[in-house]
């Protein structure tokens, strides 16, 4: 790889052990993927934060990097941790786990990484601009950054994202290059869509079709007339989960779509397929005992809707509301938090129902997130029920009038 004098100095250890290690990781990655050089990044999002996923080996690596003088050179935030950093005890997290999780966050803080733990960094000030090169790790956020914002990132692993933060660089390959951002398959959606669950079901139906083609896809999607930020974040999470998609173009909605003509090969997604995707995630054979909203983390608009639905009501099931801490702080100021907590629902800030260590505590999860359904089943062995946002709230309230998709 062609390295600048500054990058060579980092690799030679002139800027400390951790920076050398970080540059070694990036050079190795660049060699594997045939990158000609590095590119400066303006923003980083680091994954591998939950102690539940990281374990002792990961913790030791982070401590060594902090000890070795690692220091973030660009704005960097974290993916969700395994617990609400301030309110873990009320959410049933045990003290040993909490101590280990705090040990994970300390070296990140020492390295100058903003310890806001969220998969929606774009809602809390880590918002790159169109065309900027960045290094993000969380798959839903990567898909959102590439597709909805038009920034450029590969899906980084925990170590490579950290390395990008400590050097301000990433190898120039993959989605950083124009040629890999061109769509290679057209998709026509033959259905009206509404809400996060519907968009998540589309992500599952389409993701599985793309997976079946057996190669990396950049779909060019037509037929979606409008989509809110919340619907797009749900779609990004789902299509990344079920189809491994890190970039799509959506005609009339995403910023790069206008540059391209739809490719020749066309897939069609019908209403029946979207409904089948919803039904496939409805695996709960008995009552739901856990409801969670906020995968990806909730926007302030979603929290406002939640407060509206919960005003003066009492939930009858464990109900987690997952969000970034700065978004929750805005909700505090707006009075939404008070209304939501008065209903018995609990904020689980900094974390989510997938990365928290909840295995064995619940049987069946209701959520509006197709991604949460996938990982709750795979990671925690939960049965699932995919509902609309409002239906999930009704489920938590114990109301029975929800419309089933059967
Ligand atoms: Fe975020 Fe957790 Fe879902 S990290 S995208 S809320 S699985």
Each residue's pLDDT tens digit, 363-398:
999 999 999 999 999 999 999 999 999 999 999 999
Mutate which of 78, 82, 119 for ligand 1? The one with the most ligand atoms within 8 Å of its CB, which is 119
Between the CA of 357 and the centroid of ligand 1 the distance, in Å, is 14
Between the CA of 2 and the centroid of ligand 1 the distance, in Å, is 36
Q: Please give the share of the chain, as a percent, with pLDDT higher than 90.
A: 95
Between the CA of 139 and the centroid of ligand 1 the distance, in Å, is 9
C-alpha to C-alpha distance for 167 and 13, rounded to whole angstroms: 12
Mutate which of 372, 376, 386 for ligand 1? The one with the most ligand atoms within 8 Å of its CB, which is 372
Question: Average per-residue pLDDT in the chain?
Answer: 96
Between the CA of 295 and the centroid of ligand 1 the distance, in Å, is 5
E strand or H helix at 37, and its extent? none
C-alpha to C-alpha distance for 179 and 63, rounded to whole angstroms: 38
Between the CA of 19 and the centroid of ligand 1 the distance, in Å, is 29
C-alpha to C-alpha distance for 136 and 161, rounded to whole angstroms: 6
- Which atom from ligand 1 is nearest to the alpha carbon of 237? 5
Mutate which of 349, 355, 370, 380 for ligand 1? The one with the most ligand atoms within 8 Å of its CB, which is 355
If you take atom 5 of ligand 1, which residue's CA is the nearest one? 296
Residues 164-197 have pLDDT tens digits of 999 999 999 999 999 999 999 999 999 999 999 9
Between the CA of 311 and the centroid of ligand 1 the distance, in Å, is 26
The pLDDT of residue 399 is 82
Mutate which of 352, 374, 378 for ligand 1? The one with the most ligand atoms within 8 Å of its CB, which is 352
pLDDT over 70 at 306, yes or no: yes
For 284-293, b/e burial (b = at least 16 CB within 10 A) is beeebbbbbb
C-alpha to C-alpha distance for 263 and 356, rounded to whole angstroms: 41
The pLDDT of residue 405 is 41
Edge-to-edge strand ranges of the sheet holding 185-190: 249-250, 219-222, 185-190, 266-270
- Which atom from ligand 1 is nearest to the alpha carbon of 138? 4
Residues 18-53 have pLDDT tens digits of 999 999 999 999 999 999 999 999 999 999 999 988
- Which atom from ligand 1 is nearest to the alpha carbon of 119? 1
The pLDDT of residue 400 is 59
Residues 352-370 have pLDDT tens digits of 999 999 999 999 999 999 9
- Which atom from ligand 1 is nearest to the alpha carbon of 120? 1
C-alpha to C-alpha distance for 143 and 296, rounded to whole angstroms: 12
Mutate which of 53, 356, 371 for ligand 1? The one with the most ligand atoms within 8 Å of its CB, which is 371
List Cβ neighbours of 175 (8 Å cut-off, separation of 6 or more): 146, 152, 153, 154, 181, 246, 247
- Which atom from ligand 1 is nearest to the alpha carbon of 369? 3
Between the CA of 75 and the centroid of ligand 1 the distance, in Å, is 21
- Which atom from ligand 1 is nearest to the alpha carbon of 353? 2
The pLDDT of residue 52 is 86
- Which atom from ligand 1 is nearest to the alpha carbon of 294? 6
Query: Averaged over 267-271, what is the pLDDT?
Result: 97
The pLDDT of residue 119 is 98
Calculate the CA dihedral of residues 327, 331, 333, 334 and round it to 10 degrees: 140
Beta strands per DSSP E along 124-184: 135-136, 169-171
pLDDT over 80 at 404, yes or no: no
If you take atom 3 of ligand 1, which residue's CA is the nearest one? 295
Between the CA of 338 and the centroid of ligand 1 the distance, in Å, is 24
Between the CA of 236 and the centroid of ligand 1 the distance, in Å, is 11
Residues 77-133 have pLDDT tens digits of 999 999 999 999 999 999 999 999 999 999 999 999 999 999 999 999 999 999 999
CA 261 to chain centre: 29
If you take atom 6 of ligand 1, which residue's CA is the nearest one? 295
Residues 229-253 have pLDDT tens digits of 999 999 999 999 999 999 999 999 9
Tokens of 166: 């400590």
Residues enclosing ligand 1, CB less than 6 A? Answer: 79-80, 119, 138, 140, 237, 295-297, 322, 352, 354-355, 371-372, 375
C-alpha to C-alpha distance for 378 and 8, rounded to whole angstroms: 43
C-alpha to C-alpha distance for 74 and 134, rounded to whole angstroms: 10
Between the CA of 208 and the centroid of ligand 1 the distance, in Å, is 20
């Amino acid at each position: 790889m062609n390295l600048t004098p500054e990058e060579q100095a980092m690799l030679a250890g002139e800027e400390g052990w951790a920076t050398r290690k970080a540059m070694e990781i990036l050079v190795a990655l660049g060699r594997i993927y045939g990158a000609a050089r590095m590119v400066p990044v303006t923003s980083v999002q680091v994954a591998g934060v939950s102690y539940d996923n990281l374990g002792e080996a990961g913790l030791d690596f982070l401590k060594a990097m902090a000890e070795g003088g690692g220091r973030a050179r660009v704005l960097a935030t974290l993916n969700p941790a395994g617990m609400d950093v301030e309110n873990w005890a009320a959410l049933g997290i045990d003290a040993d786990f909490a101590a280990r999780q705090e040990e994970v966050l300390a070296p990140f803080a020492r390295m100058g990484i903003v310890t806001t733990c969220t998969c929606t960094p774009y809602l809390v000030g880590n918002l790159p601009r169109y065309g900027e090169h960045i290094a993000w790790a969380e798959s839903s956020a990567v898909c959102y950054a590439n597709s909805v914002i038009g920034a450029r990132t590969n899906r980084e692993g925990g170590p490579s994202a950290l390395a990008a933060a400590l050097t301000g660089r990433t190898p120039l390959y993959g989605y950083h290059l124009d040629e890999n951002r061109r769509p290679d398959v057209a998709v026509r959606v033959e259905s009206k869509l509404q809400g996060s669950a519907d968009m998540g079901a589309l992500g599952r139906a389409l993701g599985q079709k793309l997976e079946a083609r057996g190669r990396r896809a950049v779909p060019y999607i037509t037929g979606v007339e409008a989509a809110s930020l919340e619907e797009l974040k749900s779609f990004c999470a789902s299509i990344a989960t079920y189809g491994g998609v890190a970039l799509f173009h959506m005609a009339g909605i995403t910023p790069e779509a206008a540059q391209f003509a739809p490719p020749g090969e066309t897939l069609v997604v019908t209403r029946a397929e979207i409904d089948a995707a919803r039904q496939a995630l409805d695996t709960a054979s008995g009552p739901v005992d856990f409801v969670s909203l906020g995968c990806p983390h909730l926007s302030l608009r979603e929290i406002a809707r939640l407060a509206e639905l919960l005003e003066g009501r009492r939930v009858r099931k464990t109900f987690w509301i997952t969000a970034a801490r700065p978004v929750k702080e805005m909700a505090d100021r707006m009075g939404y938090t008070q209304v939501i907590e008065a209903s018995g629902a609990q904020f689980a800030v900094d974390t989510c129902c997938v990365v928290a260590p909840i295995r064995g505590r619940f049987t069946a999860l209701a959520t509006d997130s197709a991604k949460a359904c996938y990982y709750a089943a795979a990671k925690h062995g939960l049965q699932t029920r995919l509902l609309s946002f409002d239906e999930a709230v009704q489920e938590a309230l114990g109301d029975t009038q929800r419309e089933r998709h059967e």
